[in-house]
Chain A
Amino acid sequence: MSVSGLRRVAITGLGPVTPIGTGAQAFAGAQREGKSGVGPITHFDPADVPSKIAGEVKDDLSAWVDPREARKLDRYVQLALAAAELAVRDSGLSEDELRGERTGAVIGSGIGGVKTFEEQANVLRTRGPGRISPLFIPMMIANMATGHVAMRYGATGPSSTVVTACATGTGSVGDAARYIQLGLADVMLAGGTEAAVTPIAIGGFSNMKALSTRNDAPQEASRPFSASRDGFVLGEGAGVLVLEEYEQAKARGATIYAEIVGYGTSADAHHITLPAPEGRGAQVAMRMALATAGVNPGEVGYINAHGTSTHFNDLHETQAIKAVFGAHAHALAVSSTKSMTGHLLGAAGAVEAIAVAQALHDGILPPTINLTDPDPLLDLDYIPEGAREVQVEYALSNSFAFGGQNAALLFKRA
């Protein structure tokens, strides 16, 4: 039992599918190298959109998803199935061990099957509603990653889908951890997935002036905390973690990457896209994550920031960290792995949870790349020099969303 009287939650499987690498080893290696996964958009011809760059997943998914099945799945579900399979294999759990009502899934998505939506909207416009594919709805709806992952593993336990935009991945892992803490499941497949590198999504984000247009230098475009940052870079991918009740994980000799010890979530109740002044909602989420674990701010050694590379996010997040951590804000390390992956929207928090688990397990903190011209208003230690070898005990991961929704997870070294 933890200090809170709840069951403990171990992370025993990692399944990242990201623009900088697929699989735990490749993803960890890319973070150490400080690799950028951003490049010119290839999923469609970006001639007509202002932002012509994105973090695309280049790996062939056919090793994890039968190409004949893939035909009936939006890319966002394909990415989730690949991530889930990687996480399951990494955990060492057998299919027999996973099957049944003690295993559940929470795999969120910020948007769902937007490519399918876009394609079928074109069918509607050109040929009428009578030609809409009967697979349109089951391909597009945002709960289908959870549904397909549950079907794939026969996971008949707790099942839900978090849709909190860019906080989705963090909320999914947090909610899934709760099911284990409360004794409602022993294993949860938890994470997020997104495949929104499509004209309608890039067009929409572009017109919000949210995206970087550093088209001539894609690998330098995602530059959180830098004075010359000009917006986020859209990324695609998925992250799934195997969460397991701690004593069970220990008894079977599983590799425990880290423990999830705290979770906080909150609303700004302020504006559809702008953060609340001083990141007030973000502060509530971070404080809640600490309080649920009974951990003092001074014990936290690393924060994986939301760090989108937009003016407003980076400013308000830094203000919020200072408000929560006081003087200790300058002693702990903060970095944005989005500097490497781009912003994976609903998958971001899950991929970042994987990065934090690896940081705690390996004793290496991931860097913020491209931070060559720090914004003078942002004065924390953002790990600009490259991956840093240091073993911390507690790490926090932040995610903040349009709609003013915030989520924070607190991890402990295993």
Chain B
Amino acid sequence: MATFEDVKAVIVEKLGVDADKVTPEARFVEDLGADSLETVELIMGLEDRFGITISDEDAEKIRTVQAAVDYIGSQQ
């Protein structure tokens, strides 16, 4: 089961943001400053960390930290 903290660790590493900015409501692009390439990096990082595959279609819908936690939970 993916915890918020596990997901947060990947986000901090891949986006290079301060940990305290990674709140459940935080949006990757608007709040955490991810550009399109970093968003791909992040999705690949989550796939690696949690051993799942995220389709491009699903990746489009994962726009917040909580959405990532929920999605990963649903896939495991």
Least Cβ–Cβ distance between A195 and chain B, in angstroms: 20
B11 to chain A, nearest CB (A): 13
Distance in Å: Cβ of B21 to nearest Cβ of chain A: 12
Q: Which residues of B contact A69 (CB under 8 A)?
A: 16
* A138 and B37 contact, CB distance less than 8 A: yes
Q: How far is the CB of A65 from chain B (nearest CB, A)?
A: 12
Of the candidates A67, A71, A72, A131, the one whose C-beta lies within 8 Å of that of B44 is A131
Chain A contacts of B70 at CB under 8 A? none
CB closest residue in chain B, given A139:
B37
- Considering only residues 40-60 of chain B, those with a C-beta below 8 Å from chain A are 40-41, 44, 48
- Chain B proximity of A143: nearest CB distance (Å): 17
A131-B44, A133-B44 known; A71+B16 contact, CB < 8 A: yes
A253 on the B face (CB < 8 A) = no
In the assembled complex, B17 has its CB within 8 A of some CB on chain A:
yes
Tell me, in angstroms, the Cα distance from A72 to B41 when the chains sit together. 11
B37 lies within 8 A of A134 (CB): yes
Instruction: Establish whether residues A72 and B16, one from each chain, have CB atoms under 8 Å apart when the complex forms.
Output: yes
Contact call B16/A134, Cβ cutoff below 8 A: no
- Interface presence of A327 (CB below 8 A): no
Shortest Cβ distance from A70 into B: residue: B16
Asked if residues B16 and A135 are in contact (CB atoms below 8 Å), the reply is: no
The CA-CA distance from A68 to B41 in the complex, in Å, is: 15
How long is the Cα–Cα vector from A133 to B38 in the complex, in angstroms? Answer: 10
Total B residues in contact with A, Cβ cutoff 8 Å: 8
Smallest Cβ distance from A116 to chain B, in angstroms? 13
Q: Which of A90-147 contact B (CB under 8 A)?
A: 131, 133-135, 138
Chain B residues whose C-beta falls within 8 Å of the C-beta of A67 in the assembled complex: 16
The CA of A289 and the CA of B48, in the complex, are separated in Å by 55
Q: Are B41 and A135 in contact (CB under 8 A)?
A: yes
A131-B44, A133-B44 as given contacts; A68 in contact with B37, CB under 8 Å: no
Q: Which of B9-42 contact A (CB under 8 A)?
A: 16-17, 37-38, 40-41
- Contact between A135 and B37, CB atoms less than 8 A apart: yes
- The closest CB in chain B to the CB of A138 belongs to B37
Besides A71-B16, A133-B41, A135-B37, 4 new A-B residue pairs in contact (Cβ under 8 A), listed by A number: A68-B16, A131-B48, A134-B37, A134-B41
The 7 tightest CB contacts between A and B, nearest first, are A68-B16, A134-B40, A134-B37, A71-B16, A135-B37, A134-B41, A135-B41
Interchain Cβ contacts under 8 Å between A and B, 19 examples: A67-B16, A68-B16, A68-B17, A69-B16, A71-B16, A72-B16, A72-B38, A131-B44, A131-B48, A133-B41, A133-B44, A134-B37, A134-B40, A134-B41, A134-B44, A135-B37, A135-B38, A135-B41, A138-B37
